[in-house]
Structures are given as C-alpha cells and as structure tokens.
Amino acid sequence: MKVVLTHGYFIGEDEREQRIMKPYPPLGLQYVSAYLEQKGWENDIFDTTFQTFQQLEAYLLSAKPDVLGIYTNLMTKINVLKIIRFLQVNPSLSHTKIILGGPEVRNHMERFLRYGADVIVFGEGENTFLELVEIYERDQQPDLSAVLGIAFLDASGQVIANGERPLIRELDELPFPNRKKIDQQRYFDVWKMQHGHSMITINTMRGCPYGCRWCSRAVYGQSYRRRSPANVVEEMFQLKQQYQFDRIWFVDDVFTINHKWLRGFVQALQERDLQIPYEVITRADRMNLEVVQLLKTSGCFRVWIGAESGSQKILDAMNRMVKAEKVVEMIRLAKQHGIQTGTFIMLGYPGETEEDIIATRDYLLDANPDHYTVTIAYPIKGTPLYEEVEHRFTEELPWDKSTDRDIDFERTYSRRYYDYAIRWIDLEIYLKRRIRSRFWNPRLLITQLRILKSRMGMILNK
C-alpha cells in the first residue's frame, strides 16, 4: 500500500515569507513518517515548501497513493482544499483515501468532510494515523466506529466524531523525526544564503498548560508532556553527526517552563561535550537569574519572551497571567547576560484603547528588545477569543476561500487605524534606537515627519 504525507505550503505563493525567507520543514509530518516506519510501514513525504502546486499534482498522478495524509493549518487550508478537489476530479486518484490532521481540522471537521476528506484526525496523529493505515490495508470501506480521535461521514452522510484518543505519555518512545524523507539541505542553503547561517528545528515538548484566550489548543489540548533531557541531547548529537548546520530553533511554546528539566538539559549537554547555538520561546514568569545563566551556559543566543501588550489591562483580558513589568525585567536580564531578546506584540485586542497602545509603545521603548513582531489580533475558531467576538464579525466570509486570519471584527477603532498604529510604533522604535546609538543624520528628520504623519493617521481614523 502506498502511503504519502504532504502539507500544501508553497513558499513561492507567499510574498511575505519570500521577503523574510525563514522556512521550516514540516516537523509534524516527519514525526508521523518516522512512527509509521518504526511500525513497519513504508511511506513518502512530498514536501511542498519549495515546489509548485503543479509539481504536487504531477507527483500525485505518478505515485497514486492509497492513503494521503495532509497536515492542515491556517496557512495551508486553502491549498489543502485545492488538493482535495484535484483528487476528486482525477479518476486515477479516486481510490485515494484523504486523511486530514493538524490544528485547523478539529473545529471545521464537518466542512472538511463534506468538501471531500475521508477522515479527520483530531489530536495527536501518530497512533491514529497508524491505525487508519492498518485498517485501510485490510479493507477499503472499513468500519471506523472504533477508531479513537477521528471524525468521518457514515453511510447516511451524518458526521460521526469518535472519542478522544489518549495522548502519548512517554514522548521518549517516539522515534526522532524522519528528516531523511525531505531535502533538509535545501532549507540549510536558503537560510545560509539569506541570513548567513543555517537552522534546524527540534521539538522537546507537546502542549501548553497556560490558557491564553487567543491561542488554539486544537491538537494537544491544555496538556504538558516533555521528552527527557537525555533524549533531546541524543537527537542533537545525532543531527550534528548527520548534517552541517549552525543553529537550532526549539519550537516549544515555553522552553523554560520546568526549571528542573532545564538543569538536566544543561547537564546532559555537558556530559556529551555538546554545545550548539540555539533559540527559544518562553514566558517572563518562567525566567529568573538562574534560568538566564543556564540558557547562556548551554548555548542559547536568543530568547523570545511573550508579551503581546504593554498594558496590564489587556494582558489580563488575554488571560496571559504575567505582569508587564516582569517582561521588561526579564528582557533586560537576558540582554545583560549577552542573550539576544525578542518579543511579540498584538494590537486590536477587544477592549484595547489608544491609552493601551501607547503603553505598548512605551513598553517596547523601555524594554528595548533586539527583535519584535507586531500583528493585528484575529480570532481562531475554538478559542475563547473567537467566542467572545463571533457576534461582532464585520462580514461573512466564504469558508472555502478564506481562513480565520481573514476575519475582522468590530474593534475599538477602524482597521486602518491599526495599520497606522503599527507604522507609528515601528518608526518610534527606529528613531529611539538611532538616538541611543548616537547615530544621527538629517534623514532622521524625515523619520520624525513620518511619525507625525502616522500619528495623524491614527487620530483621523479613530
């Protein structure tokens, strides 16, 4: 039986990402692939990142998979629907069973099924996908009623959603991602050419125990499970033997959540005489002096500390469970120890006023992180934020031609106001940094004029 995994992200279609050019391999698919292989099932991954849709079509027509697993998230949803449609209109692929998984499918399962997917896998994918492959090997029209963690249409066209599949307790039992199934070197080369260094990704944990109202927990729920430090370091060691890369990006939600684990990680690195520069995301309330020193000792060169807002009122509304001043304190502490810092900002959250936006501007000026990103808040279906603003959506978007990222809702101010606000913040930070570095030239007068123009745009579009 021919089993294929794919995802539907094409960097050639993403103008923003082409400017940033920091692509990451589909790590989740590599985990499923490795698990299937461990259990004796050969499979292929068609990594679409550097391909075109036409190349994917040609591959599918040639491979004629019996089972096609497609990872689906906000960014890939539209292309996933195109893949389903392509399979439906090609008779030579009519036998292919379409199985969708990923964070996008749980809260839209009926729509995906009625669009043409055979099975929706919600939650963790390894055991569920394996069971489906084994079932389809025996019978092309099987009884799926006993398979946990899936949804499907029964003979009468009704949606059947089976119970949740228990999460994998011991993550060390999972094989390392099947990186040989993709062209990993292509990613290294792109990073090296664009940024001067290559990057590889590793996941040490699954889930997040925190309850931020805008964050989706569609796959792992509000859980927290972690691989042992020794297991993680062994993967790092093997990767260093197999590939030539410069840095690691740990894709965990909160890398320093468990300080005992972090101490064990540092010790395991020292025992293997291994140090590879790495980058992480964490929370300010899970940092202190010891944590910063451990990060620095073990090779961390950059830490992203979630903030989302400089206003405590908005942080509380988000259920972030952190103090704004704590974020500032930890950014400063990390920088004092020679670790680069980054932070995330979200504008347009329900209830946010201009006073809150000014507080966010002041927070960025005060903390002075090396990097920051600013986005406009959008509601993801299944989150408390979505439920809060659903009745305030500004228009009804066609489901098959839009994603949750396209949703806008009635906010304190107009959408154009927030566009000006982002520009204003960016210019203020730029100017302040030039002043701090004592870099001055007459062109900065133009920056000041642009700041004034942005501020006027905010006032006029309230």
In tens, the pLDDT along 178-198 reads: 999 999 999 999 999 999 999
- Which of the four pLDDT bands, split at 50, 70 and 90, describes residue 108? very high
In tens, the pLDDT along 314-336 reads: 999 999 999 999 999 999 999 99
Among 347, 265, 275, 264, which Cα is nearest to 308's? 347
Q: Does residue 234 lie in a domain region? A: yes
Provide the token pair at 294: 């451990």
Which helix (H) or strand (E) segment holds residue 337: the answer is none
Q: Does residue 404 lie in a domain region? A: no
Which helix (H) or strand (E) segment holds residue 121: the answer is strand 119-121
Strand (E) positions, 127-197? 150-153, 159-161
Q: Which of 289, 319, 345 is the last residue of a domain?
A: 345
Q: Does residue 31 lie in a domain region? A: yes
Residue 88 pLDDT more than 80? yes
Is beta strand 340-347 parallel, antiparallel or unpaired with respect to 300-308?
A: parallel
Statement to judge: residues 18 and 148 lie in one domain? yes
Statement to judge: residues 192 and 243 lie in one domain? yes
The dihedral of CA 200, 206, 208, 214: what is its sign?
positive
Residue 386 pLDDT more than 90? yes
Q: Does residue 437 lie in a domain region? A: no
Cα distance between residue 157 and residue 298, in whole Å = 55
Starting from the edge strand earliest in sequence, which strands make up the sheet with 300-308, in order? 199-202, 247-250, 278-282, 300-308, 340-347, 371-376
The pLDDT of residue 440 is 65
Q: Does residue 220 lie in a domain region? A: yes
Statement to judge: residues 148 and 290 lie in one domain? no
The domain tally of the chain equals 2
Q: Does residue 405 lie in a domain region? A: no
Across the range 446-456, mean pLDDT stands at 94
Across the range 125-130, mean pLDDT stands at 98
- With beta carbons less than 8 A apart as the criterion, state whether 205 and 195 touch: no
Q: What is the mean pLDDT of the chain?
A: 96
Q: Which residue has the tokens 């963690």?
A: 149
Q: Does residue 422 lie in a domain region? A: no
Among 136, 146, 160, which Cα is nearest to 65's? 136
The pLDDT of residue 185 is 96
Across the range 14-29, mean pLDDT stands at 92
Give 343: exposed, middle or buried? Use CB within 10 Å, 0-12, 13-18, 19+.
buried
Coil, helix or strand at residue 91 = helix
- Which of the four pLDDT bands, split at 50, 70 and 90, describes residue 443? confident
Provide the token pair at 180: 């040989």
Statement to judge: residues 130 and 275 lie in one domain? no
Cα distance between residue 318 and residue 213, in whole Å = 5
Statement to judge: residues 61 and 179 lie in one domain? no
Statement to judge: residues 155 and 177 lie in one domain? no
Statement to judge: residues 154 and 178 lie in one domain? no
Q: Which of 297, 315, 345 is the last residue of a domain?
A: 345
Cα distance between residue 49 and residue 13, in whole Å = 10
In tens, the pLDDT along 33-60 reads: 999 999 999 999 999 999 999 999 999 9
In tens, the pLDDT along 210-258 reads: 999 999 999 998 889 999 999 999 999 999 999 999 999 999 999 999 9
Statement to judge: residues 183 and 140 lie in one domain? no
Statement to judge: residues 155 and 183 lie in one domain? no
CA distance from start to end of the chain: 60
Residue 439 pLDDT more than 70? no
Query: Please, what is the Cα angle at 64 between 62 and 69, to 5 degrees?
Result: 120
Model-level pTM? 0.95
Statement to judge: residues 122 and 236 lie in one domain? no
CA distances from 172 to 28, 231, 254, 278, 436 (A): 16, 6, 19, 21, 47
Domain range spanning residue 194?
Answer: 171-345
- State the CATH number of the domain containing residue 287: 3.20.20.70
- Which of the four pLDDT bands, split at 50, 70 and 90, describes residue 135? very high
Cα distance between residue 229 and residue 172, in whole Å = 10
- Our measurement of the distance from residue 122's CA atom to the centroid of its chain's CA atoms, rounded to an integer in Å, reads 17
Percentage of the residues of the chain whose pLDDT score is greater than 70 = 99
In tens, the pLDDT along 256-291 reads: 999 999 999 999 999 999 999 999 999 999 999 999
Provide the token pair at 431: 């100017």
Q: Does residue 439 lie in a domain region? A: no
Statement to judge: residues 97 and 209 lie in one domain? no
Cα distance between residue 242 and residue 245, in whole Å = 10
Q: Which residue has the tokens 């960097």?
A: 11
Statement to judge: residues 287 and 175 lie in one domain? yes
Cα distance between residue 168 and residue 384, in whole Å = 26
Q: Which of 312, 345, 378 is the last residue of a domain?
A: 345
- State the CATH number of the domain containing residue 82: 3.40.50.280
- With beta carbons less than 8 A apart as the criterion, state whether 374 and 347 touch: yes
